[in-house]
Amino acid sequence: MRQPEHKESNASLLQVNNLSIRLNSAAGLVHAVEDVSFTLKAGQTLGIVGESGSGKSVMARSLMNLLPRRAVALRKGSVLLSGREISTLSERELQRLRGPEIAMIFQDPMTALNPVLTICVQVSEPLQHHLGMNKQAARARAIELLDAVGIPDAANRIDQYPHQLSGGMRQRVVIAIALTCNPSLLIADEPTTALDVTVQRQILDLLTGLQKQRRMGMLLITHDLGVVASRADFIAVMYAGRFVEVAPANTLFKSMQHPYTEALFNSIPRINDASHTRLQAIPGRPPQLHDPAPGCAFAPRCPYAQQRCHQETPPVGQAEQAGHLHACFYPVSVPVATGGVR
């Protein structure tokens, strides 16, 4: 097992440098991820926010090298997990890495569990496979894990099949499976999108609790700013495969720089708005990711876009505050009042 000192060390757990991914599709090359860089330390949470099709899931999967080989047309940049380059590892080495080092929680607990295997089989298998436990030990440990993720009567629940559990329960089981081998990095890919709102909150609280307790690094991927607002240390806003703004969570909400972040923030309904206030939707459609036009991908929908925005791609630049990066020629810079976010 890994030593706790290793996790406490200040070295970055995950370092992504200039990652670009293009995928083959019927319509042509899809520029799914463009020039993404970030670092994550043990015990930190990076929230990645973006709308559907912005490349969040593709990026998350590429961090574990889970994209089907046939689909990937091009992969540039490096992904270092605890200093080890992921993209050059063999399939065998990757299999050893997945589970004990890096684990993933999927969006839809209805499909993320195998319907024909009992919970016991699904939770204890990684224990037997990666940690070499025998059946009895793995079963006992699986019951502990189910207990830890808040499944009541775990000793009996463990012999049930997924269809006998509710959606929230299933997501707890999925989390338990991800935690079996004590991963140092946990990727949660829209963990609550398929659940209803009351359960969402419980699951998120559970996740952040477990993450603090085990000092895991966590990537929390969502399309909902409210989900990451109070739970992430850093927030990255993703648009058309790029990180358009990255900042510590509290800085981001105090001074948004990128017009897209602002638009996203303004599209959240607020409880203290007068009734019948119209929501500010973002005009236009999300861009097609194959054959992207030159210039900033958000320019066609941006209220502040200038001539230059349509011609050049803005580089990622530093804002005034340390650690606050954005990719915009004309940052908004107007401080937005905080509060009102869930």
Binding site for other proteins (CB under 8 A): 64, 66, 70, 94-100, 103-104, 106-108, 111-118, 121, 125-126, 129-130, 140, 143-144, 147-148, 155-156, 158-163, 174, 177-178, 180-181
Nearest distance from residue 146's CB to other proteins, in Å? Answer: 11
Nearest distance from residue 163's CB to other proteins, in Å? Answer: 5
Q: Which is nearer to other proteins, 106 or 239 (CB)?
A: 106
Pair 188, 108: CB distance under 8 Å: no
Which amino acid appears at position 5 of this protein? Answer: E
Nearest distance from residue 140's CB to other proteins, in Å? Answer: 4
Nearest distance from residue 191's CB to other proteins, in Å? Answer: 12
Q: Which is nearer to other proteins, 103 or 319 (CB)?
A: 103
Name which of 34, 62, 60 is nearest 46 in CA terms. Answer: 60
| Packing angle of the helix pair 135-148, 119-131 (nearest 10 deg) | 120
Q: Which is nearer to other proteins, 107 or 211 (CB)?
A: 107
- Give the single-character DSSP code of 212: H
Which amino acid appears at position 312 of this protein? Answer: E
Q: Which is nearer to other proteins, 147 or 224 (CB)?
A: 147
Nearest distance from residue 16's CB to other proteins, in Å? Answer: 18
How far apart CA 121 and CA 203 sit, in angstroms, is: 23
List the helix and strand counts (H, then E) for the chain: 11, 12
Nearest distance from residue 288's CB to other proteins, in Å? Answer: 24
Nearest distance from residue 49's CB to other proteins, in Å? Answer: 22
Residue 242 host element (H or E): strand 242-248
Q: Which is nearer to other proteins, 176 or 309 (CB)?
A: 176
Residue 124 host element (H or E): helix 119-131
Per-residue tokens: 143: 């019951």
How far apart CA 199 and CA 176 sit, in angstroms, is: 16
How far apart CA 100 and CA 267 sit, in angstroms, is: 39
Q: Which is nearer to other proteins, 165 or 225 (CB)?
A: 165
Question: Helix, strand or coil for residue 290?
Answer: strand
Q: Which is nearer to other proteins, 52 or 111 (CB)?
A: 111
Nearest distance from residue 257's CB to other proteins, in Å? Answer: 34
**22 pairs with which residues across the strands?**
31, 74
Q: Which is nearer to other proteins, 16 or 67 (CB)?
A: 67
Question: Helix, strand or coil for residue 138?
Answer: helix
Cα 17 to Cα 10, 13, 58, 110, 214, distances in angstroms = 18, 13, 16, 34, 26
